[in-house]
Amino acid sequence: MSHNGSKPTEKPKFAMYWASSCGGCEIAVLNIGPKILDVDAAFDVVFWPVAMDAKYKDVEAMDDGSILLTLFNGGIRNDENERLANLLRRKSQILVAFGSCAIEGCIPGLANFSSQDQIFDAVYASVSTDNAGGIRPKTHTTVPEGILHIPEFYPVLKTLDQVVDVDYYMPGCPPESHQIATVIDLVLAVLEGKAELPPKGAVIGAGDSTCCDECPRQRNVKKITKFVRIHEMDAIDPDLCLLEQGILCNGMATRSGCGALCPQHNAPCIGCYGPAEGVVDYGARIMSALASVIDSRDPDEIERILDGIPDPAGSFYRFNLAHSLLRTGKVG
C-alpha cells in the first residue's frame, strides 16, 4: 500500500496506543535498538502516550485514515479503551492488534473467570485493602468544581477484534523485538514499493508452526505417568523435552515465533504467542494433546496423574481466555 497523502513530501503517520495492558509491549518496541531511529526517520509519530505527550482531542482532530500505521496493544476493559479503539480504527489505514492482550486478552483477560462483583470485591474489599468506607468506583462523582468522570469498567474484557475491525495480528507477550524489527522492515519496504502487505487478517511477526518446532530439546514418544512442577524437581534434563519430564509445557498448541525462549531456559512454554495456525480453542488443543500422551487406561490412575495439574483452566487459558469458546468477551 502506498501512502496517499495530499502532500507527497509529508512522512506517513505512526501511532501506538495501550489499552488494558502492562506496558511491556511498548518496552519491546523500544527494545528494537537503533532500528527505532529508522521508525523515527520514516514516520511522523503522532500519538504514543507512553513515549510523548498527546491528547485524545488531537487524534479526534485528525482526518479519518490519516494515520498509516497504528499498533494497538491491550485489551478492552472499559469504555475509554473502547472509545480509543473506535477512534484509532477510524483514523488509521492499518490497525494492528499488537501483543497478546489486544489479540486474545492475555493476563488481564483471566479476569473473565470472575464476575465484575468478584473483581471489585477482590480489589476494594479484601484483606489487602484499607477501605473502611467500602468505597466502590463510580463513573460519575460530583465535587464542588463539577462532575468527575472515570471510565466504566465492563463485565468482561474484550479483545480488540471483538470491538473493531482489525487488519493484522502480531502475537506475543510481548512480541519479540526481533520480530517487531522484521515487521518494521517490511512496512518500510512496502513504503518504498519494494514489498507488498500480507493479506488482511494475517498474523504477522510470527511463524505458522508451533513452539515445539522451534525447540531444540530432544523429543521421543511421550508416555506421561506424572505431572510435576518445576520447583518440585531436583534437576531438569537440559536436553530432553520438558513435557516428557512431566512438566506441563504448552508448546504443542502455541504459535512459533519466539524461538522457544522459555524451554531453552528450563521453563515450560506457557503459551504467550497464542494459538498455533488452525487452532479454534487454545485450551481444547492442549487438553487434546495432553490426554493423548498420558500413559494410563485406568480411570483412577488417570485422575491421580491429572492431580498434578492443579489449575487446568488457568494453565490452559492463561493468555487466551478472552478469545476462548467458553469465556469469550463477545457480546451477541
Partner 1 sequence: MSEQFEPVIIGFTCNWCSYRAADMAGTARIKYPPNVRLVRLMCSGRLDPTFVLKALSNGADGVLITGCHPGECHYLEQNYKALRRYHLLRRTLIGFGIEPERVKLVWASAAEGVQLAKQIAGFVDEIRALGPLAWSMPSKQQLVAEPSVMEEVPA
| Choices 17-25, 64-72, 259-267, 295-303 (CB under 8 A): range interacting with partner 1 | 295-303
**CB of residue 194 to partner 1, shortest distance in Å:** 41
CA distance 15 to 39: 11
| Residues of this chain, 250-269, that bind partner 1 according to CB under 8 A | none
Closer to partner 1 by CB, 33 or 155: give it. 155
Within a 10 A sphere around the Cβ of 305, how many other Cβ atoms? Answer: 19
Closer to partner 1 by CB, 108 or 205: give it. 108
Question: Which of 97, 67, 320 lies closest to 204, judged by CA?
Answer: 97
Exactly one of 8, 133, 146, 299 binds partner 1 (CB under 8 A); which one? 299
Q: How far apart are the two ends of the chain, measured CA to CA in Å?
A: 34
Quick note: the x/- pattern for partner 1 over 81-120, rule CB under 8 A, is: --------------------------------xxxx-x--
Q: Binding to partner 1 by residue 218, rule CB under 8 A?
A: no
Closer to partner 1 by CB, 217 or 323: give it. 323
Crossing angle of helices 35-42 and 177-191, rounded to 10°: 30
Exactly one of 290, 319, 320, 323 binds partner 1 (CB under 8 A); which one? 290
Residues near partner 1 (CB under 8 A), total: 39
Burial of 5 per CB tally in 10 Å (0-12, 13-18, 19+): middle
Closer to partner 1 by CB, 264 or 315: give it. 315
**CB of residue 305 to partner 1, shortest distance in Å:** 9
Q: What residue has cell string 490452559?
A: 316
Q: What residue has cell string 516428557?
A: 244
Closer to partner 1 by CB, 42 or 306: give it. 306
Quick note: the x/- pattern for partner 1 over 131-170, rule CB under 8 A, is: ------------------------xx--------------
| Residues of this chain, 55-74, that bind partner 1 according to CB under 8 A | none
Exactly one of 77, 234, 291, 320 binds partner 1 (CB under 8 A); which one? 291
Q: Binding to partner 1 by residue 283, rule CB under 8 A?
A: yes
**CB of residue 272 to partner 1, shortest distance in Å:** 20
The beta-strand segments (E) located in the chain are 13-18, 44-47, 67-73, 76-78, 92-98, 140-143, 146-149, 153-158, 168-170
**CB of residue 293 to partner 1, shortest distance in Å:** 9
Exactly one of 136, 200, 223, 330 binds partner 1 (CB under 8 A); which one? 330
246-252 contacts, C-beta under 8 A, 24 or more apart: 246/308, 248/290, 248/308, 248/309, 248/315, 250/211, 250/286, 250/315, 250/316, 251/210, 251/211, 251/212, 251/215, 252/210, 252/211, 252/212, 252/285, 252/286, 252/289
| Residues of this chain, 307-326, that bind partner 1 according to CB under 8 A | 309, 311-314, 316, 324-326
Which string of DSSP letters, residue by residue, matches 139-204?
SEEEETTEEEE-PPEEEEEE-GGGTS--SEEE-SSS--HHHHHHHHHHHHHHHTTSS-PPPTT-B-
The residue ranges that bind partner 1 (CB under 8 A) are 113-116, 118, 155-156, 280-281, 283-285, 287-288, 290-292, 294, 296-297, 299, 302-303, 306, 309, 311-314, 316, 324-332
